[in-house]
């Protein structure tokens, strides 16, 4: 084990302030505000369309009142989830595992958001 002979003040100061953090915190709050109506819309739509078949599902996503909120939901959801999971990873993981997990979270969120949006567009615009 490497001996740490730094003074307590040096250890507390660490590498200095990163100079950012407020913007991320704000983005998390803004996406949360967006998600309140969008997720409630989604839950209500699911309950309302519970018994419709595949044709009904496609018709719902083809209409502007289905497609537009769904795309907005996907963007807001994965942005909020990526920021939230980033914070969770930073809290509990340290070292190389942390950096790998951060990359995985960011790339996974982007991939899922793009896949979801493209799936919606595919359903809405094909056939």
Partner 1 sequence: MAGDDKSPASGRRRKGAAPDRLRDATASRLADGKTSHSDPAAASPGARSETADRPAQPRQSKAAFRSPAPGVRERPLSPNIQIYRPQITSVLSIGNRITGVLLGIGGVGLVVWLSAGALGPAAYAGVTAALLSIPGQVVLFLFTLAFFFHLCAGVRHLMWDTVHGFELRTVYISGWIVVMASLALTVIAWAVGLFVMS
Partner 2 sequence: MRKNLIIESSDQLPRAPWPKRFPLPRNFGLERGSRVREGREWPAPPEATRVRHFRIYRYDPDADASPRIDNFEVDLDDCGPMVLDALIWIKDKVDPTLTFRRSCREGVCGSCAMNMDGTNWLACTRFINDLDEPATIYPLTSRRIIKDLVPDLDELFAQYEMIEPWLHTKTPDPGAERLQSPEERARIDGYYECILCFCCTSACPSHWWNPGRFLGPAALLQSWRWLADSRDEGTEERLDKLEDPFRLYRCHTILNCTRTCPKGLNPAKAIAEVKRMMIERES
Tell me which residues touch partner 1 (CB under 8 A). Answer: 1, 3-5, 7-8, 29, 32-33, 35-36, 39-40, 43, 47-48, 50-51, 54, 57-58, 61, 70, 74, 77-78, 81, 84-85, 88, 112, 115-116, 118-120, 122-123
Residue 99 CB, shortest distance to partner 2, in Å, is: 14
Q: For partner 1, which is the closer residue by CB, 7 or 96?
A: 7
**DSSP letter for each residue of the chain:** -------HHHHHHTT---S-SHHHHHHHHHHHHHHHHHHHHHHHHHHHTTT--HHHHHHHHHSHHHHHHHHHHHHHHHHHHHHHHHHHHHHH--THHHHHHHHHHHHHHHHHHHHHHHHHHHHHH--
Residue 13 CB, shortest distance to partner 1, in Å, is: 15
Q: For partner 2, which is the closer residue by CB, 59 or 101?
A: 101
- Report what 107 binds from partner 2, partner 1, none; CB cut-off 5-8 Å by kind: none
Q: Which residues bind partner 2 (CB under 8 A)?
A: 7-9, 11-14, 17-26, 87, 90-92
Residue 3 CB, shortest distance to partner 1, in Å, is: 6
**Sole residue written with tokens 């309950």:** 47
Distance CA 89, CA 27 (A): 18
């Amino acid at each position: 084990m490497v001996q740490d002979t730094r003074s307590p003040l040096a250890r507390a100061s660490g590498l200095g302030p990163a100079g950012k953090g407020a913007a991320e915190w704000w983005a998390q709050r803004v996406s949360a505000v967006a998600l309140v109506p969008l997720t409630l819309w989604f839950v209500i739509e699911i309950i309302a369309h519970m018994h419709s078949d595949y044709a009904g599902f496609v018709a719902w996503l083809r209409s502007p009142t289905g497609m537009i909120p769904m795309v907005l939901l996907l963007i807001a959801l994965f942005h909020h989830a990526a920021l939230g999971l980033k914070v969770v990873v930073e809290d509990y993981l340290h070292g190389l595992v942390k950096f790998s997990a951060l990359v995985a979270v960011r790339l996974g969120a982007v991939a899922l958001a793009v896949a979801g949006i493209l799936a919606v567009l595919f359903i809405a615009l094909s056939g």
